[in-house]
Amino acid sequence: MEIEIARLGGDVEKGIESSGAYLIWEDVTVVLPKFGGGKGPTKRLLNGLSGYAEPGRIMAIMGPSGSGKSTLLDTLAGRLSANLVMTGNILLNGKKRRLDHGFVAYVTQEDILMGTLTVRETIQYSAQLRLPSNMSKDEVNEIVNNVIIEMGLEDCAHNLIGNWHLRGISGGEKKRLSIALEIITQPQLLFLDEPTSGLDSASAYFVVQVLKNIACGGRTIICSIHQPSSEVFALFDDLFLLSSGETIYFGEAKLAVEFFGDSGFACPTRRNPADHFLRCINSDFDDVTATLIGSRRINDMKESSSSLIYLPTSECRVRLIQNYKYSSHKLRTKARVRQLANIKDIVFKESGGSQASWLTQLCTLIKRSLKNMSRDFGYYWLRIIVYIILSISVGTVFYDVGTGHNAVIARGACGGFISGFMTFMSIGGFPSFIEEMKIFEKERKSGHYGVGVFILSNFISSFPFLVFMSMSSAAITYSLVKFHPGFFHFLYAAIVLLSSITVVESCMMVVACFVPNFTMGLVVGAGILGIMMASAGFFRLMPDLPKVFWRYPISYVNYMAWGLQGAYKNDLIGLEFDPVMPGEQMKKMKGEEIISSVLGFSWFGLGTSMLEVSSLKSLASESKMFAFWVELVTPGLPSVGYLSYVICELLYRAGVLPCAHPKDSGCRFPLS
C-alpha cells in the first residue's frame, strides 16, 4: 500500500504554485454529543473525511439533503456550531490556522442583504467597511466598478435590493450580489453554501461560470451544491460526494463517472451524471421506486436505470463506500494530502475581516444605517406618524387641563399615558431591528466590524429620528394640554420622553439578541415593558408597592418609574390647585404637596434627592432646574448603549448567540 501511495505521490508531484490557498483536511470527524435531548447516543455527522482543495480549481460538495454538505463546509471554514465536536486536521498551506472570523470568505445559503439599499450602494458600503482607510475614493470606486462588472450586475446596479414592501432584484441577482460582497477583498479561499439553490438552470449556470472565472484567477473555491444540471456539473474541477457523512467519492469531477461505472453503477448515456450519482445514494428513491412498482409504472423506470431498480440505495451506498476505500482515487487523495501537508513558504494573502480603521467603519455604518432608516417606512416614519396622531388625540382629550381640583387627577392620567403607552409603542421598531441584527450577525462573523462600532453607529443614526419623534410629540401634547408653562419645562418633558423611548429601543435591541424571532421577540419585549408599567408608580402609588421585589429593586431599575416621576415633578412643582370646595377659605394645594402626599413620592425616594432639594430652593430659576434635570436624565442614554454592548459581547463570548465565533465561544476548533 505504502509503495502504491509513493508511486501515486510521484503522479501528483505536480503544480504547486508559489502563492494561493492549498487547503487539506485529514480524517475529519464531526459528532453531535448526546444527541436527542442530552440523553441519546453521540450522532456522527461526518465520518473520517479527507480531501484537499487547490488554487485555480472549483470543488463541488454534493450529496442528498442532510448528508453533511453544509457541516463539512462550516467545518472547513471554521464556523462549526458550538454544540458540535470536531476531530482531525485541517491545514492551510501546511499550517494549522484559524479560518474563522473573516480569515476566509464565506457566502451563506441565505442572502442576507439590506433591502433598502441599491446594489451599488451595498457593494460600496461593504468596500468602505473593509478596504484600507488610506485608499482613495477613486481607488475604492474602481474596485466597486470592477466587482459589478465581474458579477454581471451592471444592469441592476441602481436597483433597490427589495424587502417585504419593495419589489427588488431577482433571486439570481441577489445571489450574485452576495458573491460580489465576498470578492471585494479578493479572497484566496472562498466557501459558498448552495450558491445555486432557488435559481433556474440559466441563472445557476451563470453563477457557477462566474465562480469558475474567479477560480481561474488563482483562487480556491469550495461550494456545496444540491443537484446541478449537466452544464453546471461540467464546470466543476473536483467533486466531493457525500452520503450520511461518509465519502462516496473524492477526486476529479470528470473521473467520477468512471468510478461509478467500475463499481457497477454505470451512468446511462444521455443522463445527467449529477442526477445519476444522487440517484444511487439517496435513500428517498427507495420510496419512489416502491410507489412506482405499486402503481405499475415501473417500465418507465426500467428503461432509465436498469441496474439500480431492484437494488436498495443502502446497498448501493455500502458498495460505493467500500469501492472508494480501495480505489486508486483514495490512494491518490492520500498521496496529495501528504504532499500538501508538507508544503512551506507559500504566500497566503489574508483577505477577510476589515483593514479599515475604527473611525471609517463607524462613519460608514452611520451613513448606511441612516439611509436604511430613512428609506424603510416601517423603521421610524410610520411610528412618527402614529406618535403625532396619538399626541393630537391625547392633547385634545386633555385639552387645557387647567388648575382646578380635578385637574390633579387629569394631569396624573395624562402623564401616565405619555410615560407609559407612548414609550411602549417603540416596540414597533422590533421587526426592523431583527433585520438589522441579521446583517450585523453575518458581518460580524466575517469580521467586518465589532459589537462596539455597531451599537454606537446604531445609536447615533437612530438619534435624530428619536429626537424628532419625542420633540414633536412633546410639543403637541404640551401645547394642547397646557402643562406647566415655560420653555425649560417643555424641554424637560421632551427629554424625559426621548430618554424613555431610547431605553425602550435599547431594551428591544437586547431582546433581539436573545430572541431573534419576530413573534417571540415581540411577546418577550411587550412582557418586559408590561412589568415596567405595572411598577412605575401610576397604577399603584410608589409607597404602596410591595417593598420586596417591586419597590426594591424593580422600581429603582425601572426607567418608566424615573420618567413618570420626572414628568410629574416637572409639571406640578410650582403650580397651585383649587381646593376641594370652591369658595372655601382653604388655602390652595401646592404641587409640591401633591407630589409628596397624593402621589406619595418621598423626598429622598426614587427621583428625589438633589433634584427636589434644588427645585425647592430655586423654583424661580428654571434654567438651574433644567440643568439638574439634564444631569439626572442624560446618564441614562450612554449607559443603556453601554449596557446593550456589554450584554451583546457577553452573549457572544458565552456562545449563546447563534453567530458566536469559535474564538470567543471556546468551541472546539482544532486550528486555534
Ligand X SMILES: Nc1ncnc2c1ncn2[C@@H]1O[C@H](COP(=O)(O)OP(=O)(O)OP(=O)(O)O)[C@@H](O)[C@H]1O
Residues in contact with ligand X by CB under 6 A are: 32, 45, 63, 65-71, 81, 83-84, 226
- Cβ proximity to ligand X: between 63 and 187 the closer is 63
Residue pair 182/123 in contact by the 8 Å Cβ criterion? no
> Which whole-number Å values give the CA distances from 489 to 566, 623, 627, in the listed order?
11, 9, 11
Q: Find the shortest distance in angstroms from Cβ 490 to Mg ion.
A: 57
- Cβ proximity to Mg ion: between 90 and 242 the closer is 242
- Cβ proximity to Mg ion: between 193 and 376 the closer is 193
- Cβ proximity to Mg ion: between 26 and 194 the closer is 194
**24: nearest Cα among 67, 63, 75:** 75
**494: nearest Cα among 462, 472, 464:** 472
How big is the chain, counted in residues? Answer: 672
From Mg ion, ligand X, none, interface partner of 309 (C-beta below 5 to 8 A by class):
none
Q: Find the shortest distance in angstroms from Cβ 399 to ligand X.
A: 59
From Mg ion, ligand X, none, interface partner of 228 (C-beta below 5 to 8 A by class):
none
Report the C-alpha gap between 606 and 629 in whole angstroms.
14
- Cβ proximity to ligand X: between 68 and 168 the closer is 68
**160: nearest Cα among 201, 126, 199, 115:** 115
Q: Find the shortest distance in angstroms from Cβ 86 to Mg ion.
A: 17
Instruction: List the grid coordinates of 530.
Output: 408590561
Q: Find the shortest distance in angstroms from Cβ 107 to Mg ion.
A: 13
**272: nearest Cα among 226, 320, 240:** 226
Distance of alpha carbon 310 from its chain centroid, rounded?
Answer: 47
Owner of C-alpha cell 433585520: 435
From Mg ion, ligand X, none, interface partner of 195 (C-beta below 5 to 8 A by class):
none
Instruction: List the grid coordinates of 130.
Output: 473593509
Residue pair 491/408 in contact by the 8 Å Cβ criterion? no
33 preceded by a cis bond (ω within 30 of 0): no
Residue pair 179/192 in contact by the 8 Å Cβ criterion? yes
> Which range touches Mg ion (CB under 5 A), out of 67-75, 390-398, 407-415, 647-655?
67-75
- Residue 70 binds Mg ion, judged by CB under 5 A: yes
The identity of residue 548, as a single letter, is: V
- Cβ proximity to ligand X: between 109 and 272 the closer is 109
Q: Find the shortest distance in angstroms from Cβ 67 to ligand X.
A: 4
From ligand X, Mg ion, none, interface partner of 636 (C-beta below 5 to 8 A by class):
none
Report the C-alpha gap between 485 and 498 in whole angstroms.
20
- Residue 197 binds Mg ion, judged by CB under 5 A: no
Site for Mg ion in 346-405 (CB under 5 A): none
Beta carbons within 10 angstroms of residue 460's beta carbon? 16
From ligand X, Mg ion, none, interface partner of 92 (C-beta below 5 to 8 A by class):
none
From ligand X, Mg ion, none, interface partner of 477 (C-beta below 5 to 8 A by class):
none
Q: Find the shortest distance in angstroms from Cβ 662 to ligand X.
A: 13
How many Cα atoms are found within 13 Å in the side-chain-facing hemisphere of 72? 35
Number of residues that bind Mg ion (CB under 5 A): 2
> Which range touches Mg ion (CB under 5 A), out of 20-28, 68-76, 362-370, 406-414?
68-76
Q: Find the shortest distance in angstroms from Cβ 190 to Mg ion.
A: 17
Q: Find the shortest distance in angstroms from Cβ 108 to ligand X.
A: 11
The identity of residue 549, as a single letter, is: F
From ligand X, Mg ion, none, interface partner of 83 (C-beta below 5 to 8 A by class):
ligand X
From ligand X, Mg ion, none, interface partner of 322 (C-beta below 5 to 8 A by class):
none
**Cβ burial 141-178 (10 Å sphere, 16+ → b, else e):** eebbeebbebbbbeebbebbbbbeeeebbeebbbbbbb
- Residue 672 binds Mg ion, judged by CB under 5 A: no
From ligand X, Mg ion, none, interface partner of 276 (C-beta below 5 to 8 A by class):
none
**Cβ burial 561-600 (10 Å sphere, 16+ → b, else e):** bbbbbbbbbbbbbbbebbeeeeeeeeeebbbbebbbebbb
- Cβ proximity to Mg ion: between 29 and 70 the closer is 70
Q: Find the shortest distance in angstroms from Cβ 87 to ligand X.
A: 16
Report the C-alpha gap between 120 and 177 in whole angstroms.
9
From ligand X, Mg ion, none, interface partner of 32 (C-beta below 5 to 8 A by class):
ligand X
Distance of alpha carbon 353 from its chain centroid, rounded?
Answer: 16
Q: Find the shortest distance in angstroms from Cβ 65 to ligand X.
A: 3
**Cβ burial 419-445 (10 Å sphere, 16+ → b, else e):** bbebbbbbbbbbbbbbbbbbbbbbbbb
- Cβ proximity to ligand X: between 20 and 655 the closer is 655
- Cβ proximity to ligand X: between 50 and 71 the closer is 71
SS (H, E, C) 208-275: HHHHHHHHHCCCEEEEEECCCCHHHHHHCCEEEEEECCEEEEEEEHHHHHHHHHHCCCCCCCCCCHHH
Residues β-bridged to residue 59: 222, 238
- Cβ proximity to ligand X: between 23 and 72 the closer is 72
Q: Find the shortest distance in angstroms from Cβ 375 to ligand X.
A: 33
From ligand X, Mg ion, none, interface partner of 239 (C-beta below 5 to 8 A by class):
none
Q: Find the shortest distance in angstroms from Cβ 83 to ligand X.
A: 5
Instruction: List the grid coordinates of 9.
Output: 505521490
Residue pair 468/384 in contact by the 8 Å Cβ criterion? yes
- Cβ proximity to Mg ion: between 192 and 632 the closer is 192
From Mg ion, ligand X, none, interface partner of 71 (C-beta below 5 to 8 A by class):
ligand X
- Cβ proximity to ligand X: between 65 and 307 the closer is 65
- Cβ proximity to ligand X: between 71 and 391 the closer is 71
> Which range touches Mg ion (CB under 5 A), out of 24-32, 64-72, 246-254, 619-627?
64-72
- Cβ proximity to ligand X: between 72 and 511 the closer is 72
Instruction: List the grid coordinates of 566.
Output: 420626572
Beta carbons within 10 angstroms of residue 539's beta carbon? 11
Q: Find the shortest distance in angstroms from Cβ 21 to ligand X.
A: 22
From ligand X, Mg ion, none, interface partner of 203 (C-beta below 5 to 8 A by class):
none
Binding mask 419-448 for Mg ion (x = CB under 5 A): ------------------------------
Q: Find the shortest distance in angstroms from Cβ 236 to ligand X.
A: 17
Residues that bind Mg ion (CB under 5 A): 69-70
